[in-house]
Structure 1
Amino acid sequence: MDTSFGQPVGAICQIAFTVPDLRSAIPVFADRMHAGPWTVMEHVRPATQHYRGKPTDQDVSLAVAFTGSMMVELIEQHDPGPSVYRETIDRKGHGFHHFAVTSTAFDAAEAAYLAIGYQAAFTAGMGPAFGDARVTYLDTTRDLPGMIELIELTPEVDAFFGSIKALSDDWDGTEPIHRP
């Protein structure tokens, strides 16, 4: 089964990077990766979020865009608290952070990752606008160059990602940030 944005369910659909400043990074990624236009979400704070099993209240801004059928995500963490982003930044600086994959059988997919020894490093609910989809960041760094973000593919998540993809289909490279 394919998503509305062209990637098979279960395949890598996103590559994500931490950046020190979202607004400075967007033009560089737009130019070098021809990813755009970018949809920016400021100060995202899911109501339910856990880092390494403990409640947390991280504050991040996100920007997403497509290059072809691949979504690129940029992440800027605003607070100094511990997080999946901060642990990578502290270890190796800003840059590549995770791959994302979607699942329509979230519980089974998460259980499969946990069964091979990966730990859930961060979990969150995306809220009603996304059909109460869940995400889990799995610490796969023993085997891969970053984590895997498992995204529950609800119809709302698929529609949101599909709308971001549609913006990129005829993007001419101007106006790197989408303004609805």
Structure 2
Amino acid sequence: MSRIFGRIAQIGYVVRDIEASMEHWVAQGVGPWFYLERCELDHFRYRGADSALEMSAAVANSGDIQIELIQQRNDAPSLYKDFLDAGHEGAQHVAYWTKDYQELYDRALALGYTVGQEGSIGGGRFAYLDTEKDPGTVIEISDIGGTKGELFKAVRDMAADWDGSTPIHRLG
């Protein structure tokens, strides 16, 4: 438990082949996966400048922890690209979820954190704080108010009762 951010809700993996990564996790008994091949971002900024990020994402739960897989589909500037360009693949961030996003965002900035990238998807804001000292140590804060929170709860609930059938659900 972080005294600043709360409990870790998600571990995010940046991968080069999201399909192979989902299959790897399914083989470990984690699923079902909810896969969006082309995420439609409302907006995205990298280090304060607009960036035309194209990405795929998939989520599944293992207990209360959500696993997120991200594959960047273009060469737009992002922390994901930085991670891959540094020769890494795998766990890139831990995410903390909040229903009071602006309060947590403002508190993080007041404590001296800086934003590496931020954006919005389906109206749900997110920010990745520039905290990577070792690979996989980026902190994401994410707004789970509204439909995003409802979706994440449904993913967790489906994982709790998953019988191994239909391991990948393609969305969109």
- After TM superposition, is the score higher than 0.5? yes
Inter-partner Cα distance in structure 1 for 2:64 and 2:78: 28
Q: Which residue of 2 aligns with 1:151?
A: 142
1:114 is displaced (CA, Å) by 1.8
Q: Residue in 2 aligned with 1:139?
A: 130
Q: Does 1:118 align with 2:109?
A: no
From 157, 164, 167, give the equivalent of 1:173. Answer: 164
Q: TM-score w.r.t. structure 2 length?
A: 0.88
Q: Which residue of 2 aligns with 1:27?
A: 23
Residues in 2 aligned to 1:19 and 1:143: alpha-carbon distance in whole angstroms: 17
Offset at 1:179? 5.4
Partner of residue 42 from structure 1, selected from 22, 37, 40:
37
Q: In 2, distance between residues paired with 1:21 and 1:179?
A: 16
The counterpart of 2:86, out of the listed 91, 111, 114, is 91
1:68 alignment counterpart: 63
Q: Give the drift of 1:19.
A: 1.1
State the TM-score, normalized to the length of structure 1. 0.85
Matched with 1:81 is 76
Indicate how the Cα distance of structure 1 residues 155 and 47 shifts in structure 2: closer, same or farther if over 3 A, else same.
Answer: closer
Deviation at 1:10, TM superposition (A): 3.4
The one-letter amino acid paired with 2:70 is I
CA–CA distance in structure 2, aligned partners of residues 144 and 23 of structure 1: 22
In structure 2, stretches of 5+ residues that fail to align are none
RMSD: 1.9
Aligned pair count reads 167
Fraction of identical pairs, as percent: 31
Please say if 1:105 is aligned against 2:100. yes
Q: Tell me what 2:52 maps to.
A: 57
Offset, 1:173: 2.5
Alpha-carbon separation, structure 2, partners of 1:75 and 1:144: 16
Q: State the shift of 1:150 in Å.
A: 0.7
With over 3 angstroms needed to count, the CA separation of the structure-2 counterparts of 1:167 and 1:179, relative to structure 1, is farther
- Report if the CA contact (8 A) 1:133-1:157 is conserved: yes
Counterpart Cα distance in 2 of 1:162 and 1:95:
24
